[in-house]
Amino acid sequence: MAVSLLTRQVSDLCLGKPALKSLSISSTIGDALLALKRLGENFISIWNCDHHHYNLSAVDRGFKECQCVSKVCMVNIICFLCKEEHLSNPATALQTPLSVLIPKSPCLVRHLEPNASLLDAIDLIQEGAQNLVIPLESSSKTSSRKKLVQGTLSNISTLHNNNRQYCWLTQEDIIRYLLNSIGLFCPTAANPINSLDIIDTRNKMALHYDDPASSALPFISRSLEIQASVAIVDSDGKLVGEISPFTLNYCDEDVAAAIATLSAGDLLAYVDCGGPPEDLVQLVKKRLQERNLEQALELVEEYSSGASISTSYSSSSSDDEFGMGRSARWMGYSARVVRRSEAIVCYPWSSLVAVMIQALSRRVSYVWVVDDDGTLAGIVSFAGMMKVFRERSRTMGEGCLN
């Protein structure tokens, strides 16, 4: 039964999914920032073709094929703005071509046909894919909505070559699907994670509480790439919080100034629920003044005064892997009942199914592993969990042949 479950077509997981919003790679970083805020999305897909001319073939536009080449989120933009030369002139930095944010690795986003199996999808994720782009079944009922989206945001489209629409298939979608049939994988699902060899110690990225938050930037970029997080530990190596893409995706671009000026511990408080404390806002302003970063100072003052106007469309996607959509950020910090810098943890002896439930309940793709005394031991990711199910299905399949 478990083997047949994993041979299901990925189209089964795409039922009811919204069409993927997209930008052309020729857009600017400012275009992406505006799209993320207006659409209430955590990520927006980036394509190698210009959707202003979606009625033309990809060949006519100079491309072999119109394809999704990457995705961009608020974390990408924040990390970009954290650089000193960009903080000195954020407005100019936002006019930079979006292509500079596209990672060199082409495997983060992969295309997959709807008749591919769930095993095919898991294999691509094991190779490093975060999101799979799946064609949606065409429907005449959605044509009016297509026109509405294109008319409202002229540089954002859900249409691609041959008027096709696509959706994301995320790691969270697959884990949730497997959890719904977890009984088929017993007793493996009930085994402790330390017996399944999925506690990752190599990607245990950690920063001391008093370290400059800016020193976390390489870790933040890496955690976004592998869908993990940056641990904040005390002098004894005990986990006290985290700086995660999930957290930063709810922030505005002014948090780049906080990362550039605060300690890691202060940044935890700055991005926590309820908004940044006034004393930390004043500290950020003071340090920006000391470094003559006047335009970054103006940006912080704009947001701290409430002068910035953000458009709070409700999120059109329920399957973003880093949260419920940026609209939750505009609905108020009460949208989440836990502190946003509070890390979700488990123990080496926690069962696989328990860790799956923990991650899904918080809508994150990882869970920190700590020892009895709170010392950080490693991290468990969705990709690691899928590896267990993949190996289990292979074993069961071989058993059926013997």
Q: Is residue 334 part of a domain?
A: no
Q: Is residue 122 part of a domain?
A: yes
By 3-state DSSP, what share of the chain in percent is helix, strand and coil, each rounded to 5?
45, 15, 40
What pLDDT does residue 41 have? 82
Say what the pTM is.
0.84
Q: What is the 3-state secondary structure (H, E, C) of 41-96?
A: CCEEEEECCCHHHCCCCCCCCCCCCCCEEEEEEHHHHHHHHCCHHHHCCHHHHCCC
Query: Nearest Cα to 45, choosing from 175, 162, 156?
Result: 156
Place of tokens 């009811």: 16
Q: Are 160 and 140 in contact (CB under 8 A)?
A: no
DSSP line for 88-125? T-HHHHTTSBGGGGS-S-TTSEEE--TTSBHHHHHHHH
Q: How far is CA 390 from CA 110, 198, 200, in A?
A: 19, 13, 17
Residues near 279 by Cβ (< 8 Å), separated by ≥ 6?
Answer: none
Q: Is residue 96 part of a domain?
A: yes
What pLDDT does residue 121 have? 94
Query: Nearest Cα to 240, choosing from 330, 117, 356, 375?
Result: 375
- Domain count along the chain: 1
Q: Is residue 192 part of a domain?
A: no
Within 237-293, where are the H helices?
A: 245-248, 255-261, 264-270, 278-290
Q: Is residue 83 part of a domain?
A: yes
What pLDDT does residue 200 have? 95
Q: Is residue 321 part of a domain?
A: no
Q: Is residue 110 part of a domain?
A: yes
What pLDDT does residue 63 have? 47
The string over 97-122, giving b where at least 16 C-beta atoms fall within 10 Å of a residue's C-beta and e elsewhere, is ebeebbeeeeebbbebebebebbbbb
Of all helices (H) and strands (E), which one includes residue 378? Answer: strand 376-381
- Range of 77's domain? 1-54+64-138+155-170
What pLDDT does residue 151 have? 42
Q: Is residue 330 part of a domain?
A: no
> Residue 114's domain is classified under what CATH number?
3.10.580.10
Where the chain has pLDDT below 70, the residues are 1-3, 50-64, 105-106, 138-162, 273-274, 306-341, 394-402
What pLDDT does residue 106 have? 66
